Amino acid sequence: MTPSFNQGRFIRDAITSVLSQEGVTVEYLVFDGASTDGTVEILREYSDRLRFVSEPDRGQAHAVNKGFRSASCEYVGWLNSDDLYTPGALRAVGDFLSANPDVDVVYGLADHVDTESALLGPYPVESWNYERLQEICFICQPAVFFRKRAFERYGLLDESLHYCMDYEYWLRCGRTRPLAHLPRKLALSRLHADTKTLRERVQVHREILRMMKRKFGAIPPRWIHSYVHVKLEASGMGRGATGLVKERLALESAWAFLRYNHFIPWSELRRVLGRLR
């Protein structure tokens, strides 16, 4: 299943990566948000091999949820229109889930690629650890696959989220039972300037902070520090070691801890005071 909106320059590659999978029967659904960049014309070229709907929606999470509701297959994958599956990925996932009937959600390895699909490097995927997942999102979204019953057990994506709907879902599912890790490369995640996660990094981190606060009651220090660094970089202050940068980091970190967690842990207070000195 693919959610899509104005990604006409990439969607053909995404489609090809799905339809070229061997050894599996694929039900391919595309939910497009009324694109105006030629996406619909490309989708029509493949209308005999996929089903698509192009209509206004309420954002990415809404489009993905429409796909989850509409899927009739036992195993479901979510591939954004600018990402790709690796050859043999669907067969590997199908074999794994068949051999592990208790698994609801499985995630694999992935690489980052650029606009020309050239390799940039591996996505930092890690073995399953729920406490670690609360500190860093080590799961690559296009390399995640679901058993259809997962949506009955854990619900659908939170449509109030615009950036971290996938991360919230991993946390929600993993809180109940572990996600399985398949150490095989399943997907290519494309990095380009128009992706929300790169174009709107401060908004992404703010949404993650609000989500973590709502879900756990407090935000892990690692996420607060990451937010502060991103905020300073957006204001033109890099990760340098100058006194001004250190002081600004200290003050912004202290304010973020007070704003979101309403207290500063002793270890963090010592770090703040050390930077101010």
pTM score: 0.93
Comparing 196 with 109, the larger pLDDT belongs to 109
Q: Which helix (H) or strand (E) holds 202?
A: helix 201-216
- Mention every residue, 6+ apart, whose C-beta is less than 8 A from residue 203: 163
- CA dist 73 and 229 (Å) reads 43
- Considering the domain 2-194, what is its CATH architecture? Alpha-Beta Complex (3.90)
Q: Note the pLDDT tens digit of each residue in 165-192.
A: 999 999 999 999 999 999 999 999 999 7
What gap in Å lies between CA 46 and CA 272, rounded to an integer? 57
Q: What are the structural domain ranges in the chain?
A: 2-194, 200-276
Q: Summarize pLDDT for 107-119 with one digit per residue, the tens.
A: 999 999 999 999 9
pLDDT in tens, 3-14: 999 999 999 999
Helices (H), 71-180: 89-99, 130-133, 150-154, 165-176
